[in-house]
Chains A and B, each alone.
Chain A
Amino acid sequence: MFDYHHFPVIAVMILFLGAFLVEIFGAKNKAVRNTIAIVVAGISTVCIYALIKPVFFDGEVISYWMGNWAPVSGYAIGIGYEVDALNLFFALLTVTTFFLSGIYSIRYMEKDEHLGHYYTLFLMLSGGVLGLVLTGDVFNMFVMIEIMTFAAVALTAFRNRSFGALEGAFKYLALGSIGSSMTLAGIAVLYMSCHTLNMAQLSSILGSQPLNPTTVFAFALMFAGLAVKAFIVPFHTPAADAYMVAPTSVSMMFSGMVNKAGVYGMIRLCYTIFHAMDQSSLQILLVAFGCVTMFVGVTMALAQHDFKRLLAFHSISQIGYVITAIGLSTAVGLSAGLFHAMNHTLFKGLLFLTAGAVLKATGTTNLDKLGGLSKKMPLTTICFLVGAFSISGLPPFNGFASKWMVYQAAYAKAVTTGNFFYAVVTIVAVVVSVMTLASFIKVTQACFFGQCPDSLKDTKEVPFSMRLPMWILSVACLASGVFYNFVYEKVLYPAMVATLNTVKYIDSMMGAGYSAAAGVQNHLVDAPRLSVWDPISWLLLFVICLVAICLVVVLGDKTRGRLSDAEGEPQDGKYATFFGGEHALHSHVGGSDLFWGFKKDFKGYFNVVQGAHDGNVNTYASWVVIATAVIAIFMVIFVK
């Protein structure tokens, strides 16, 4: 009935249409506003999910020329949308994120004013990101980056009466604009030397000859511009403030899709357009950036006192894993990077939603003021623990599967190339994973367990429409970890092959035989399937053990009447916390009290890194400019 070739464009356009409809009809009426936003986001989601069968299962690449401006004598003139498995992979992450965020927003944002503007910006941001990951045209990509950045800035400042909102938005605006300008400059230089803006045609022109300094310079500028969007260290500075002060439903979108859009852009740029990922210099550049990003991100996270700010630094750190993995430029590494990107969307979305639930229920995300919420919000606590275990990579959750692939890929690269650098990368990745665990233990202790301060005695669990997205994401975290072979076969493998198969990308857009005529070949043709161990059998075993032992211990004890807790019992000293004979005062061990030994040993490092993050936009802007200059010099010298 419907021709699915139109779905990508419909999915993007309906979001922009919805943005205007909300502003026109929904400014006053709450029901109209919510209905438009959810329906529009739902249609877009359905359109993208409907593409799974043709693109992932049948291996088709959907190309779509706007207004039917097909190429004339081998030159692309119009704007084209091209959806292969890689685009669709990121589009799926995007639609999942904004759809769940939309459901969550209904109750989460109910107390705010000017919600018409909120949903307008919300849909603009969604449309911008979705357009960015689906487009096949670099200038269109720039336009979408701009829409995305400005919607994101406005949403950051949405609660502009709360502390720091305007400051966060200003930082994001300043640095985001620098990033966008660099992308634009890169595109201009590229257009000057290749005379086209279509990605497929650019790829065919750049792939048929060695890169010259001009195109490499354009590459460096676009690389840096997209790095700002992906929040890679040292371009990461706006992320921390923006994620913290934005409404949590928006923070979830930032970490679930906005920085993924940057990652997508970098993959497209390095693998498809510039055919540069088989050069060891670029691999080392990406892996080095990834490593620094994950380490700085996690150590900064360890020092935070705010739940959302801590999560923001973890977003940066996890993107470091993704960049490291895709920089390895092997089949396993690329799948690992994509898998971790997907898992990051799931578990970080979940964690932001639990942070939002805490904020909604208690009015603060300051870890030093929270405590003991697990008795008040048991369901949120369980969701948080699922998210925390996933991000820390404990089996059987999904973070373990993707981190396992990252280590596997990094060490395989190390032993096959004999390069000690990659062995160090593997070690850093493992250590960062442990530090991630530490920092989530800190949140667990400071926020959910321990003693409840008197000011939080009346805390209530959040409403159902806020819990539903959390449950969906929790189940997704567990399912994609346990059935990781299924995810790998059906989703990651096609996406990984599509990334490496540049010839098919060019030919689907420009007509069959176009790449052969230009002399483009796939540099990285080798894409073996990963088959090392089958986690399902032993994870099921784990579950069996667990169930058996739980039954024996918990039920067995209950029937014998040897288990007693404070429910319904008189409050006597038997159930009180042990204080060594002292009078039981409120003595909660908060987040800042933890990990003393570690912090003391790393005092020098923490002083330097925290001192460097001085909150001054000038400093941050200079980091961006210096890092761009370094990238440009490195690339012009080493990338051929």
Chain B
Amino acid sequence: MYDILMILFHVLVFPGLLFVCVIGLLLAGIDRKVLARMQKRVGPPIVQPWYDFLKLMGKETIVPSNANRAVFLGAPVVGLSSLIVMMLFIPIFGYSAFSGSADLIVILYLLTIPAVCLIVGGSSSGSPYAGIGISREMVTMMAYEFPLIIALLSVAKVVGGETLVFSMRSIANWQLSNGCLIAHWALIPAALAFLLIIPAEVGTQPFDVAEAETEICEGPLVEYSGAPLGVFKLNTAIKMFIMTGLFTTLFLGGIDTGMVWLNAIIYVAISIVLTVLTMTIPHAICARLKIEKLFKFYWTIVAGLALLSLILVWFGL
């Protein structure tokens, strides 16, 4: 009974649903506020994403006549649950909710599910704008998966040495005893590549080609309204936290104050800094890329950085 209650607590409160929602929307709020200050605007209050979310939950949900109802409504929640499951298996420094830990490949594939949900949901709405949007979302996905896997393999190689280590927990524990991985200089290009992947994965400008409001009316989201739209917006906010958190776990681990709540606060603080660094600043200074430029950027520059790291660590540097 206690076990079941603990599982429910982990799923629903910490580090599950409630925690990721609060922190995700907080990050989204900070992103908007800082962006506004950079553009010399006052900007919305930090809690504005909360207001938006609550408002959308109360609005009418319209299912268009061309849409497939089950897929249209199911897609956002499947994406949300995969994000929550992912958070349960990403160690927060030494702490993770479940003893059985997932590995890098599992995380890589769980990361694709929210994107696939966006694609399938958008596609099921039957709108031509969504058709264009899902095409771009898929190309974006192909673009960042290639450098992402190389960066993850570099990390695995440093931690494992001559043995195969894919487990997130082993990577976290290795950093607890050997210091954080970014101090390993050969991994710095991989860390940079990962930082560049974060905005594409989350879908913020300049990599928001899939949702480009000014061209294709938010692409896959064009037919969404009410609660499903709210859940999709929430997914984007949670992705901000998950991606920055994943970076912290992979490259900046090794901090253990001995108190879970203090660790969590440090973790969130790092996430806030990374959000501003990787999402807000590029948003403020760059215009949206064209899709073929985006693809080329990830397969040449970002993949080159990650590959450089892999080659360096491969030869024991």
Contact = CB atoms under 8 A, between A and B. Distances in A.
Nearest to A586: B128
A438 B138 contact: yes
A607 interface: no
Interface string B161-173: 1111011000000
Contact of B145 (A395, A426, A431, A566): A431
B226 to A, nearest CB: 7
Contacts of B64: 566, 575-577
B207 interface: no
Contact of B68 (A381, A571, A601): A381
A594 interface: yes
A601 B123 contact: no
Given A437-B116, A533-B101, A408 B74 contact: no
Interface stretch (A210-218, A282-290, A409-417): A409-417
Contact of A532 (B139, B167, B296): B167
Interface in A394-415: 394-395, 400, 404, 407-408, 411-412, 415
Contact of A577 (B66, B106, B160): B66
B317 interface: no
A395 B138 contact: no
Contacts of A557: 61, 226-227
Interface in A529-544: 532-534, 537-538, 541-542, 544
Given A450-B126, A546-B78, A597 B139 contact: yes
B291 A597 contact: yes
A449 B132 CA distance: 13
Contacts of A412: 164
Given A537-B100, A595-B138, A415 B145 contact: no
Given A449-B126, A594-B138, A601-B292, A374 B84 contact: no
Interface in B48-105: 58-71, 73-74, 76-78, 80-82, 84-85, 88-89, 98, 100-103, 105
B120 A385 contact: yes
B37 interface: no
Given A434-B145, A441-B134, A426 B153 contact: yes
Nearest to B121: A449
B278 interface: no
B288 interface: no
Contacts of B73: 553-554, 563
Contact of A430 (B88, B101, B149, B163): B149
A306 to B, nearest CB: 19
A372 interface: yes
A550 interface: yes
A479 to B, nearest CB: 19
A209 interface: no
A438 B89 contact: no
A235 B69 CA distance: 44
A273 B67 CA distance: 56
A601 B299 contact: yes
Contact of B123 (A449, A563, A566, A600): A449
B176 interface: no
A395 B109 contact: yes
Contacts of A550: 74, 77
A375 B223 CA distance: 17
Given A437-B116, A441-B134, A411 B65 contact: no
Given A423-B310, A538-B85, A589 B128 contact: yes
A542 B136 contact: no
Contacts of A565: 62-63, 65, 67, 69
B10 to A, nearest CB: 9
B276 interface: no
Interface of A is mostly: helix
A542 B77 CA distance: 11
B24 to A, nearest CB: 15
B271 interface: no
A566 B61 CA distance: 12
Interface in B263-305: 290-292, 294-296, 299
Given A553-B227, A576-B65, A427 B294 contact: no
Residue among B73, B135, B142, B227 with max Cβ neighbours from chain A (10 Å): B135
A537 B100 CA distance: 8
B126 A553 contact: no
A550 B116 CA distance: 18
A211 B162 CA distance: 32
A411 B295 contact: no
A541 B7 contact: yes
A564 interface: yes
A578 interface: yes
B153 A545 contact: no
B183 interface: no
A434 B141 contact: yes
A414 B156 CA distance: 12
Interface of B: 7, 11, 58-71, 73-74, 76-78, 80-82, 84-85, 88-89, 98, 100-103, 105-106, 108-110, 112-113, 116, 119-120, 123-129, 131-132, 134-136, 138-139, 141-142, 145-146, 149-150, 153, 156-157, 160-164, 166-167, 217, 222-223, 226-228, 231, 290-292, 294-296, 299, 310-311, 314
20 contacts: A378-B70, A418-B314, A423-B157, A427-B150, A434-B112, A441-B120, A449-B68, A451-B126, A451-B128, A532-B166, A533-B167, A537-B100, A562-B227, A564-B61, A565-B69, A566-B65, A595-B138, A597-B292, A598-B139, A601-B299
Given A427-B153, A532-B103, A544-B11, 12 more contacts: A385-B120, A408-B166, A411-B153, A423-B153, A423-B314, A430-B146, A441-B123, A450-B126, A542-B81, A565-B62, A578-B223, A597-B139
